[in-house]
Amino acid sequence: MSEEKETKAGEKPKKPKIPRQSMPEQDPHKRAGNFDSVTLGYKMEQAALEASRCIQCKKPFCISGCPVSIDIPGFIKLVKEKEYLKAAQHIKKYNLLPAVCGRVCPQEDQCEKVCIVGKKGEPVAIGRLERFVADYEAAHGEVPLPELPPKTGKKVAVVGAGPGGLTVAFDLIMLGHDVTIFEALHKAGGVLVYGIPEFRLPKAIVEREVQYLTRLGVDLKLNHVIGKIRTIDQLMKEDGFDAVFIGSGAGLPWFMDVPGENLNGVYSANEYLTRNNLMKSFDFPKHDTPIKKHKNVAVIGGGNVAMDSVRTALRLGADNAYIVYRRSRAEMPARKEEVDHAEHEGVQFKNLTAPVRVIGNEQGWVTGLECLKMDLGEPDASGRRRPVPVKGSEFIMEMDAVIIAIGTSANPLIAQTTPDLKLNKKGYIEVENETTCRTSKKGVFAGGDIVTGSATVILAMGAGRNAAKSIQQYLQTGEWTPNGKQ
Amino acid sequence: MSFKSIKDIIKYAIEKEAEAMNFYTEAGKQEKYSAGKKTFESFANEEKKHKTMLEDLDPKNVAGFNPARIADLKRSDYMVDITYKAGMSYPDILRLAMKREEKAKKFYDDCVGHVDAGGHKKLFQMLSQEEAKHKLALETLYDNLMAKGGD
C-alpha cells in the first residue's frame, strides 16, 4: 500500500513536510585526527529551507525557553526571507554571542524542547540557524558599531571575561557606563577559550566577539587576578568603581580521592583542556607548551567536559580513549550530540564502572586503573537508582593517563579576600535572587557559575543580562534594599 | 576495650557522638568563611540529635531490635583517608564526614563479631545500623552533588 494517502474531494492538499535539515559534519575517522571544527554549518539554501519549517507561532514558547529571550521567530522569519545580515543584527539585540551559543547551547533542553513543530516531529533547528546567521555575518565584513549613548560618568568593574562577564560588559557599555573587565588569564573568553575545544568552538569566533566589545570601548585588562592584584574593596574604595560584577566562574577541579591520584599522568580536566585549548599544546612546536602523548587514556566522568577531554585525547593520538562512568548512559549529563560524536569518533564507553585506584610504576607514572563494576541499586526515597559496587568485580585496565572530569567548584580567592561577601554552604556566592544578582555587599553583583555552580554558557549569559539591569537600577537610584524597593 | 553491660556500651556510644559533635563544632569555629562554618554547624547539630537519641534509649528495648537492611553506596570506602584542614571545600567536608561514619560503622560491626551475649550483639547491631543510616545520608548528599558534576 502506498504511504501517500489520497486526498478527499474538496480538501486542500497538504503541503509536503520539510524534514529537519541535518548539518554537514567532518567524517568521524578523519576528524578524530584533527582539531578542525566537527560540524560545518548550514549552507544558505539549507538555512532558508530549515527556516521555512518555523510556523511563526503567535505565542512562541521558544522565546521563553531561551535564557536570554531571543526573538526566535523574528530572526527565523528574516532567514526565510534571506535577509541574513538583518537576522544577525536582530539576534544581537538579545544575545552578544550568537556564534558561540549556536554551537554550544543545549538547545534540545531549552528553545527546541518547547518548539511547537517538535510536538509532531522534529523541532526547528534553532541553534543551527543561530549559528548560520552569526557565521554569515562574520564572513561578510566587520559588524557596524551601534550608536552609543552619552557617557554617564559611572564606572563598573567586571571580574572575569567569561560569557556572563562579557554580557554584563556589553549591556552596560550600551547604557553609557565605563566598563573595565579584569581577566585572570592572558586571553578573554573564560570557559569559551580554556574549556571548550577548538573542534567544538573555534577560538577565532570568541576573539571576534571580544574585539567587538573592545571596539565599543570596553577596557579589557588581561592577566589581572582579582583577589591577588586588587581586592574587591580596593576596586571600590581606591579605584573609583561604582559597582562590581563578579563572574569568575567555577574553575576549581574536584578529584576522586582514591589511592594513586597523585601519580604522573593524572590530570584534572581543567589542566588537560587548558593546556590544549588555551596553550595550544596540540600545535607544538608552533606553540611552545607541548603535552605528553599518551597511548591509553581514561577520562573519568560523563559530562560535557569529560566528552571534550576524551575527544581531545583521541586527537592527540591516543590508541584507546575511554570514558569511565559510574552510572549508566541514561544518567550522563553530557549533551546527546556530544556523546554521539564521541562514539562515532571511536571513544570506548565503560559505563557502570567506577575507578577505585590508580596504579603506578616505580618512577611514579600511571600504568593502570583499577575499577569496579557497578549496578544500579534499589530506588531510594527520591526514586533514584544509585550505582552500587558489584562485589568481587574488580578489574584492571592498562592505562598511561587518567583525566578527572567529575566537576568543579568556585575558586575561593575572591571570597577569601572579601570577608563580607556571603557564601552558601557549597562555597558559591549568595545572591538575593536570580533577577537582582545582588550579593551581601553593597554595590557588588554576581552571576554565572560562581553563583549556581557549573552550568551552561547561555545560563551565565542570562545571569549577566539580569545583573546588568540590576546594576543599571542601582547606578541610577543608589538604592540597595531588597528587590530595589524603598 | 571491654564492656561489662549494655549501659556501658550505650555510655561509650554517647561519648563517641559527643566527640563527633565537638569535632564539628570546633571545625566550624576554625572556619573563617560562612560556607564551611554553616556546613560544620549543621553536622554538629546532627550529631547532637544522635547523642540525644542514645541518651533516650531504654536498654530494655534492645532485645526486641530487628536489624533492617540499609543501602550502602560505598562511596567513601574506596577513598583515601582525609584530615580536617581549615577552609576545605564542600566536597572535601562531605568526604571527611563520610569517612568518619564509615569508621564508626566498621567499629560497631567489628564489635558484633567479638561479643557473645545476645543483648550486647543486638545493641552493637543497632549502633551499626544508626551509623549506616548516617553514612547513607551523607553519601546520598555527596552522590547528588557529584552526579551534577558528571561523576
Report the pLDDT value the prediction gives residue A406, as an integer from 0 to 100: 96
What is the domain range of residue B12? 6-58+75-149
Q: Residue B15 is placed in which grid cell?
A: 561519648
Helices (H), A223-329: 232-237, 269-273, 304-315
Report the pLDDT value the prediction gives residue B63, as an integer from 0 to 100: 79
Q: Is B109 on the interface with A (CB under 8 A)?
A: no
Contacts of B66 (CB under 8 A, 6+ apart): none
- Residue A24, class by beta-carbon neighbours within 10 Å (0-12 exposed, 13-18 middle, 19+ buried)? exposed
Q: Residue A401 phi/psi, 5° resolution?
A: -150, 145
Q: Residue A22 is placed in which grid cell?
A: 541535518
Q: Residue type at A429?
A: I
Q: Residue type at A195?
A: G
A395-398 vs A366-379, strand pairing mode:
antiparallel
| Residue at B47 is within a domain | yes
- Residue A364, class by beta-carbon neighbours within 10 Å (0-12 exposed, 13-18 middle, 19+ buried)? exposed
Q: Residue type at B46?
A: E
Contacts of A230 (CB under 8 A, 6+ apart): A182, A224, A239
Q: Residue type at B69?
A: R
Among A254, A308, A329, A331, the strongest candidate for a mutation testing the B interface, having the largest count of B CBs within 10 A, is: A254
Nearest Cα neighbor of B143 from A387, A422, A467 is A387
- Residue B141, class by beta-carbon neighbours within 10 Å (0-12 exposed, 13-18 middle, 19+ buried)? middle
Name the closest residue on chain B to residue A429, using Cα atoms: B35
CA dihedral A48, A50, A53, A58 (to 10 degrees): -70
pLDDT tens-digit profile, chain B (151 residues): 667 777 888 888 899 889 999 998 988 888 877 777 888 888 898 889 888 888 888 877 787 888 888 989 999 999 999 999 888 888 998 999 999 999 999 988 988 888 777 678 888 898 899 899 999 999 999 999 999 989 9
Q: Residue A470 is placed in which grid cell?
A: 540590576
Contacts of B24 (CB under 8 A, 6+ apart): B40, B41, B43, B44, B47, B97
- Residue A9, class by beta-carbon neighbours within 10 Å (0-12 exposed, 13-18 middle, 19+ buried)? exposed
Overall size of chain A counted in residues: 486
What ipTM did this prediction achieve?
0.86
Name the closest residue on chain A to residue B93, using Cα atoms: A426
Check the CA dihedral A183-A268-A191-A309 and report its sign. positive
Q: Which residues of A touch B35 (CB under 8 A)?
A: 415, 423-428
Q: Residue type at A147?
A: E
* CB within 8 Å of chain B, chain A residues 350-409: 354, 356-357, 372, 377-378, 380, 386-389, 405-409
| Residue at B65 is within a domain | no
A357: which strand partners? A370
pLDDT tens-digit profile, chain A (486 residues): 344 444 455 566 666 689 999 999 999 999 999 999 999 999 999 999 999 999 999 999 999 999 889 999 999 999 999 999 999 989 988 888 999 999 999 999 999 999 999 998 999 999 999 999 999 999 987 667 888 999 999 999 999 999 999 999 999 999 999 999 999 999 999 999 999 999 999 999 999 989 989 999 999 999 999 999 999 999 999 999 999 999 999 999 999 999 999 999 999 999 999 999 999 998 888 998 899 999 999 999 999 999 999 999 999 999 999 999 999 999 999 999 999 999 999 999 999 999 999 999 999 999 999 999 999 988 888 888 899 999 999 999 999 999 999 999 988 899 889 989 998 888 899 999 999 999 999 999 999 999 999 888 989 999 999 999 999 999 999 999 765 444
Check the CA dihedral A343-A354-A373-A381 and report its sign. negative
Q: Residue type at A401?
A: A
| Residue at B82 is within a domain | yes
| Residue at B64 is within a domain | no
- How many domains is chain B built from? 1
A296-300 vs A320-324, strand pairing mode:
parallel
The structural domains of chain A, ordered by start, are 28-139 (1.10.1060.10), 155-251+410-484 (3.50.50.60), 264-407 (3.50.50.60)
DSSP assignment, residue A263? S
| Residue at B19 is within a domain | yes
**Distance (Å, whole) CA A254 – CA A266:** 13
| Residue at B11 is within a domain | yes
Report the pLDDT value the prediction gives residue A3, as an integer from 0 to 100: 42
3 state SS of A405: coil
- The CA-to-CA distance between both ends of chain A, in Å, stands at 72
| Residue at B142 is within a domain | yes
| Residue at B114 is within a domain | yes
* CB within 8 Å of chain B, chain A residues 275-314: 300-306
Name the closest residue on chain B to residue A428, using Cα atoms: B35
Q: Is B24 on the interface with A (CB under 8 A)?
A: no
Q: Is B91 on the interface with A (CB under 8 A)?
A: yes
Nearest Cα neighbor of A91 from A55, A58, A136 is A136
Residue pair A265/A401 in contact (Cβ under 8 Å)? The answer is yes
Compute the nearest-CA separation of A374 from chain B (Å). Answer: 10
Listed as own residue / partner, the contacts of A379-386 with beta carbons closer than 8 Å and 24 or more positions apart are A380/B71, A380/B140, A386/B71, A386/B73, A386/B140, A386/B143
Report the pLDDT value the prediction gives residue A205, as an integer from 0 to 100: 92
Compute the nearest-CA separation of A428 from chain B (Å). Answer: 8
CATH code at B36?
1.20.1260.10
Complete DSSP assignment for A127-149: HHHHHHHHHHHHHTSPPPPPPPP
